[in-house]
């Protein structure tokens, strides 16, 4: 199956291991390779698969296009993939499928730019961006590919999702349906690279070991080099021994990996990032849009929500639809979707999405089939494990409800009358891990992981409600308002929202898959502390992400931000828990707790700090949930 992978890193690996061709694809489609000219003279390599009955029976079909920075493998007019389109449903139903290496990647000419900035005022043919490349590609395809109906759809997952989003801007008239799936929308604002100013260390380090800029002319993808040798199966150990980010540059990248270097040179929200914020440019989009995301997406949790919201704000001229399900990165496109890690969902959510949502969407807008009676938002509500069809997202009937952090680890509806504080010592040389077990890579299922290991640490504050007498349904973003101080001049504050199961919670039905496919860390679910949502916040950005400001040691200050949306019901008999800590390693890089340019920090810069979280009184720390009655 093409491009349907857990992460962009896996994409790079899997493209080098294309499965044997499915004879049904070869029997039903003829493959053509084209070099499509762009307005500036650059040619982009595009593989097109045309149903054989276009010539034999004069049939016509719409075009489904994917533009990717990874690979359109298999290369060669006589080589075929095992499947075409977003799922096997599409190849069986028949479309014309087109796959394109984007500018500067593999067999396409030009130079590649990571999330290339959009140019709103194009004056000459040299003024190009991904929107213009999509336009020129579609224009060429409908004029030169035989048997097309003149209608085009685009889809893509992760970075290909970014290219799908870009096609919405100044879109070609033939483009009628676009599905950005787990799309990159803003690498700095809570997608792959930075979350609230904290660098997503383990994911980005591993990804940029493999995703490299091409040198020289267009060429077939090189065979994969030997996997990076971490020297240990323990990512916590590797990154702690690595030391500072400066050591990563000096020892491993040596300023020979421009994508990593650009990240290190832009640790604040600079013009480099702002120019790449594709979401700023949606204006009255014309194609129908189906944006898809997963509640447990470790790479792009905010991209789908931001894409949907910004298209909606800009006044779309066609349908603007959202799907959010219980999936990891791209999990909707593969497998049953009935579990993530230790947590099960009681149904095959991935199959439901592919058969009941994605396929009918493209069928309707590209082929005119079906009644087009689509929900504005298909939302999977975790906790009770059910799909909801909604007229808007978030639902307006979900009302804000404040919960206060209180003494003795309480989370209450009433603000404590007396002001107090809780404190802990944060030591960046002994950071809080994001997992209780060993893993060298960022596990895709960490967003449902048990947090009991963290709750027992002295550098983690824990607050929880009483046992819930009734179900508590939360839908929408979660607002965090912390009053804090630090003895340092900078500190991170990580906030996690957790569902605490009762001690007698029943075990899930055993899987029927082989033992090797069972979760490696399966544990008893009684008293399980399931992570529902968590985000770091780098304190020096509390005023703005553009201009960091140091803390005054010991002086109370305020941090306010939002955790990405959830749709979760905390069941009767459960508790809501909040955990607060100052490291989340190696998911995020370590803060030296000294106000400075962190990518240039040295090992000697990392210092302990005493953190205080202030409770009670008129301005005590709190969170705000949107409760659906």
Per-residue pLDDT tens digits for 82-92 = 999 999 999 99
Mean predicted lDDT score pLDDT of the chain: 93
Q: What pLDDT is attached to residue 222?
A: 79
Is pLDDT at 173 greater than 90 in this prediction? yes
Domain membership of residue 509 (yes or no) is: no
pLDDT band of residue 2 (cuts 50, 70, 90) is: very low
Q: What pLDDT is attached to residue 49?
A: 98
* Tokens read off for 20: 């044997």
Q: Of the ranges 271-275, 443-447, 521-525, 564-568, which one carries the lowest mean pLDDT score? A: 521-525
Q: What pLDDT is attached to residue 12?
A: 41
Q: What pLDDT is attached to residue 334?
A: 92
Is pLDDT at 521 greater than 90 in this prediction? no
| Phi-psi region at 271: left, alpha or beta (left = phi > 0; alpha = psi -120 to 50) | alpha
Is pLDDT at 108 greater than 90 in this prediction? yes
Domain membership of residue 93 (yes or no) is: yes
Q: What pLDDT is attached to residue 8?
A: 41
Residues 6 or more apart in contact with residue 48 via CB below 8 angstroms: 31, 32, 33, 34, 96, 97, 98, 99, 141, 145
Number of domains making up the chain = 1
Q: What pLDDT is attached to residue 506?
A: 79
Q: Of the ranges 5-14, 131-140, 348-357, 361-370, which one carries the lowest mean pLDDT score? A: 5-14
Which of 203, 177, 377 lies closest to 292 in space, CA to CA? 377
Domain membership of residue 280 (yes or no) is: yes
**DSSP-assigned beta bridge partners for residue 576:** 499
Q: What pLDDT is attached to residue 282?
A: 96
H or E segment to which residue 322 belongs: strand 320-325
Strand residues in 487-538 grouped as ranges (E): 492-500, 529-538
pLDDT band of residue 522 (cuts 50, 70, 90) is: low
Q: What pLDDT is attached to residue 505?
A: 82
Taking residues 89-99, report their average pLDDT: 97
Neighbours of 61 (CB within 10 A): 21
Cα gap 134→130, rounded to integer Å:
6
Domain membership of residue 494 (yes or no) is: no
Q: What pLDDT is attached to residue 140?
A: 98
Taking residues 359-366, report their average pLDDT: 98
Which CATH number fits the domain that encloses residue 141? 3.40.50.1820
Q: What pLDDT is attached to residue 92?
A: 94
Phi, psi angle pair for 201, to nearest 5°: -65, -60
Domain membership of residue 557 (yes or no) is: no
pLDDT band of residue 523 (cuts 50, 70, 90) is: confident
Looking only at the bridges linking them, the beta strands covering 61-68 and 148-157 are parallel
Domain membership of residue 621 (yes or no) is: no
Taking residues 29-51, report their average pLDDT: 98
pLDDT band of residue 516 (cuts 50, 70, 90) is: very low
Q: Of the ranges 158-172, 393-407, 517-531, which one carries the lowest mean pLDDT score? A: 517-531
Task: Please give the model's pTM, rounded to 2 decimal places.
Answer: 0.93
Is pLDDT at 4 greater than 50 in this prediction? no
Is pLDDT at 519 greater than 90 in this prediction? no
Q: What pLDDT is attached to residue 467?
A: 98
Taking residues 238-262, report their average pLDDT: 94
Cα gap 463→578, rounded to integer Å:
5
Is pLDDT at 270 greater than 80 in this prediction? yes
pLDDT band of residue 515 (cuts 50, 70, 90) is: very low
Is pLDDT at 260 greater than 50 in this prediction? yes
Is pLDDT at 104 greater than 50 in this prediction? yes
pLDDT in tens, 445-490: 999 999 999 999 999 999 999 999 999 999 999 999 999 999 999 9
Q: What pLDDT is attached to residue 507?
A: 72
Which structural domain range is residue 318 located in? 8-186+276-390
Q: What pLDDT is attached to residue 224?
A: 64
**DSSP-assigned beta bridge partners for residue 486:** 611
């Amino acid at each position: 199956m093409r491009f349907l992978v857990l992460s962009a890193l896996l994409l790079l690996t899997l493209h080098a291991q294309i499965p044997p061709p499915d004879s049904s694809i070869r029997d039903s489609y003829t493959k053509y390779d084209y070099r499509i000219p762009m307005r500036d003279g650059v040619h982009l390599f595009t593989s097109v698969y045309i149903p054989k009955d276009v010539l034999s029976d004069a049939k016509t079909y719409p075009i489904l296009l994917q533009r990717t920075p990874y690979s359109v493998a298999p290369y060669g007019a006589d080589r075929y993939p095992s499947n075409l389109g977003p799922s096997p449903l599409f190849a069986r139903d028949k479309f014309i499928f087109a796959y394109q290496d984007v500018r500067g990647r593999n067999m396409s000419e030009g130079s590649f730019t990571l999330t290339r900035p959009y140019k709103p005022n194009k004056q000459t043919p040299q003024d190009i961006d991904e929107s213009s490349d999509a336009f020129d590609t579609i224009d060429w395809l409908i004029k030169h590919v035989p048997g097309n109906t003149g209608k085009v759809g685009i889809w893509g997952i992760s970075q290909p999702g970014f290219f799908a989003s870009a096609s919405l801007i100044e879109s070609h008239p033939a483009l009628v349906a676009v599905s950005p799936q787990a799309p990159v929308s803003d690498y700095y604002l809570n997608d792959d690279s930075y979350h609230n100013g904290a660098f997503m260390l383990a994911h980005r380090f591993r990804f940029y070991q493999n995703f490299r800029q091409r040198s020289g002319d267009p060429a077939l993808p090189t065979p994969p080099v030997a996997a990076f040798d971490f020297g240990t199966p323990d990512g916590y150990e590797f990154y702690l021994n690595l030391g500072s980010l400066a050591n990563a540059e000096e020892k491993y990248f040596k300023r020979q990996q421009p994508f990593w270097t650009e990240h290190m040179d832009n640790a604040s929200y600079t013009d480099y990032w702002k120019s790449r914020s594709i979401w700023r440019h949606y204006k009255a989009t014309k194609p129908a849009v189906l944006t898809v995301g997963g509640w447990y997406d470790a790479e792009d949790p905010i991209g789908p929500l931001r894409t949907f919201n910004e298209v909606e704000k800009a006044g779309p001229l066609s349908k603007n639809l959202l799907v959010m399900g219980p999936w990891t990165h791209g999990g909707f496109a593969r497998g049953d979707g009935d579990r993530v890690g230790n947590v099960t969902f009681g149904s095959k959510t991935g199959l439901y999405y592919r058969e009941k949502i994605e396929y009918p969407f493209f069928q309707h807008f590209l082929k005119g089939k079906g009644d087009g009676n689509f929900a504005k938002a298909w939302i999977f509500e975790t906790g009770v494990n059910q799909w909801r069809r909604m007229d808007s997202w978030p639902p307006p009937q979900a009302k804000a409800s404040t919960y206060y952090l209180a003494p003795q680890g309480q989370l209450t509806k009433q603000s404590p009358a007396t002001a107090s504080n809780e404190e802990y010592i944060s030591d960046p040389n002994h950071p809080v891990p994001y997992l209780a077990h060993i893993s060298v890579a960022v596990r895709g299922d960490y967003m449902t992981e048990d947090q009991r290991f963290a709750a027992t640490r002295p550098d983690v504050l824990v607050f929880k409600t009483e046992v819930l007498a009734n179900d508590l349904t939360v839908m929408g973003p979660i607002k965090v308002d912390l009053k804090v101080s630090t003895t340092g001049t900078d500190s991170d504050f990580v906030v996690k929202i957790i569902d605490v199961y009762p001690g007698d919670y029943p075990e899930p039905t055993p899987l029927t898959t082989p033992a090797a496919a069972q979760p490696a860390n399966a544990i008893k679910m009684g008293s399980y502390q399931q992570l529902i949502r968590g985000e770091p916040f780098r304190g020096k950005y509390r005023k703005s992400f553009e201009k960091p400001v140091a803390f005054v040691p010991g002086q109370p200050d305020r941090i306010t931000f939002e955790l990405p949306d959830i749709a979760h019901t905390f069941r009767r008999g459960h508790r809501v828990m909040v955990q607060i800590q100052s490291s989340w390693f190696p998911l995020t890089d370590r803060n030296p707790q000294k106000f400075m340019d962190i990518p240039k920090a040295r090992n000697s810069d990392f210092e302990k700090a005493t953190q205080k979280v202030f409770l009670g009184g008129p301005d005590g720390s709190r969170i705000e949930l949107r409760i659906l009655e």
